Structure 1
Amino acid sequence: MKVILFGATGMVGQGVLRECLLADDVTEVLSVGRTPLSRADPKLRELLLPSLDDLTPVADQLAGYDACYFCLGVSSVGLDEAAYRRITYDLTLGVARLLAERNPGSTFTYVSGQGTDSSEQGRTMWARVKGKTENDLLALPLETYVFRPGFIQPMNGEGPRTPALRWGYRALAPVTKLATRAFPKYATTTEALGRAMLQVTREKPEPRVLGNPEITRLGR
């Protein structure tokens, strides 16, 4: 199968990319982003763009794919609702709508977050915006899956792009590995996320909204 990956330079995206390149049934990975990747592989192709706000000029290059793994995300810290919505909702739906036109019926997997508000009415801004994003993605003519991870344990060398956060993850690695095993309801791993995305593409299971336990089970 051929897959598109958004956010391959982030911690989650790094893990997903690794699992895609290792999978025997994945023949091509198209990484779409603004920053070049620091790795090469015969399966990997990069589409580098100055902005992801409008993919219409490159729409033909996104046709013919079986799945899209959308791992882009931003913290709501320091952002008002309009700014957070532009990145979290507008960008995501813009990509998904274009793919629904070019690859109808393909799988679209969106990395959301534990605690997302599907009612879109709660007091927590990020949870409302994520809930709206999830709901509108699920309404598109795509095989949409929503992943709601809590804490994510980086594996196989993955880590945040921010040096301070990367150092923190490394320093706490022994503790977080134990916590991930002890509290599966609240934590999963980058390895499980990547493998689970591949599994939902292969199997099309139910339900469509998956928390940490379901992600980890599919990613075994």
Structure 2
Amino acid sequence: MKLKVMITGANGLVGHGVLLKCLESEDIGEVLLIGRWSSGIKHTKLTELVVPDLLDLDAHEHLLIGYHACFYCSRVVPAEIDDESYSQFAMDTALGFATQMLVLNPNIVFCFLSRSKGEGKISEDAKITCMIEAALSKLIFRRLFFFRTNLVAPLTSQKNINFSQRLLALAYPLLKFLMPNKINTTSEVGLAMINTLVTDCERQALGAREIRALAS
């Protein structure tokens, strides 16, 4: 059986890489992108739902039924917003969207693109994703995974990357050797998300090493 997945955040670095791996995968039969802008990609597997707000989907519910998984890769930061307002915005968006998808697809697998807590003092962004993880954990998904990424290098085939990200891709082999617990590629993240659907992954929270292992 071919799987149906939905992806948010596909215009971002990681989300775009996840999309490309889903389009390549023989296990994935249909991909629905949900976001504020079109990806510009044309593919027989791909359908796009362009909406201004991930919490304003009531008129589109008939398009959101029958999916096996959601790969939530959104990391939108509104312009000129303070930390407290961003925390509430990120929490409300992720939790509201996840709740609606769960109601429409009770057996859905939910993969949330999170942040590594790192060592020492936890960053404000990591604190926010920890709160979102805690809120998502209260929902009864078929399976729920947290992809706690740190550095993520793009695929060379990705178009929406800047100069520093291209350098990161070139440096990946060396960085992987020097700090294997802190870096992945978008390919690894995408393959690992797909493999949550076709393998028995026991860990819910996945760091760099676990993502790399699940991808292979």
TM over 0.5: yes
Which letter maps to 1:175?
Answer: A
In structure 2, the residue matched to 1:110 is 112
Q: Which moved more, 1:140-149 or 1:52-61?
A: 52-61
1:154-169 aligned at under 5 Å gives the runs 154-158=154-158, 166-169=162-165
The one of 193, 196, 217 aligned to 2:213:
217
Q: 1:160 to 1:39 in 2, by over 3 A?
A: closer
| Inter-partner Cα distance in structure 2 for 1:150 and 1:103 | 30
The one of 6, 9, 14 aligned to 2:11:
9
Instruction: Say if 1:10 and 1:159, in contact at 8 Å, map to a contact too.
Output: no
For structure 1, the 5+ residue unaligned runs are none
Which letter maps to 2:155?
Answer: M
Q: Which moved more, 1:100-109 or 1:124-133?
A: 124-133
| Inter-partner Cα distance in structure 2 for 1:151 and 1:35 | 25
Q: TM-score, normalised by structure 2?
A: 0.89
Instruction: Say if 1:152 and 1:189, in contact at 8 Å, map to a contact too.
Output: yes
For structure 2, the 5+ residue unaligned runs are none
Deviation at 1:78, TM superposition (A): 6.4
In structure 2, the residue matched to 1:130 is 129
Deviation at 1:50, TM superposition (A): 2.2
Q: TM-score, normalised by structure 1?
A: 0.88
Matched, 1:51 2:63: no
In structure 1, the residue matched to 2:89 is 87
Instruction: Say if 1:11 and 1:159, in contact at 8 Å, map to a contact too.
Output: no
The one of 182, 186, 190 aligned to 1:190:
186
In structure 2, the residue matched to 1:35 is 37
Alignment partner of 1:29: what SS? strand
Instruction: Say if 1:153 and 1:177, in contact at 8 Å, map to a contact too.
Output: no
Deviation at 1:63, TM superposition (A): 1.0
In structure 2, the residue matched to 1:144 is 144
Matched, 1:179 2:175: yes
Deviation at 1:124, TM superposition (A): 4.3
Instruction: Say if 1:116 and 1:128, in contact at 8 Å, map to a contact too.
Output: no
Alignment partner of 1:112: what SS? strand
| Inter-partner Cα distance in structure 1 for 2:170 and 2:88 | 37
Identity of aligned residues (%): 31
Instruction: Say if 2:189 and 2:212, in contact at 8 Å, map to a contact too.
Output: yes
Q: Which runs of 4+ in 1 moved over 6 A?
A: none
Alignment partner of 1:57: what SS? helix
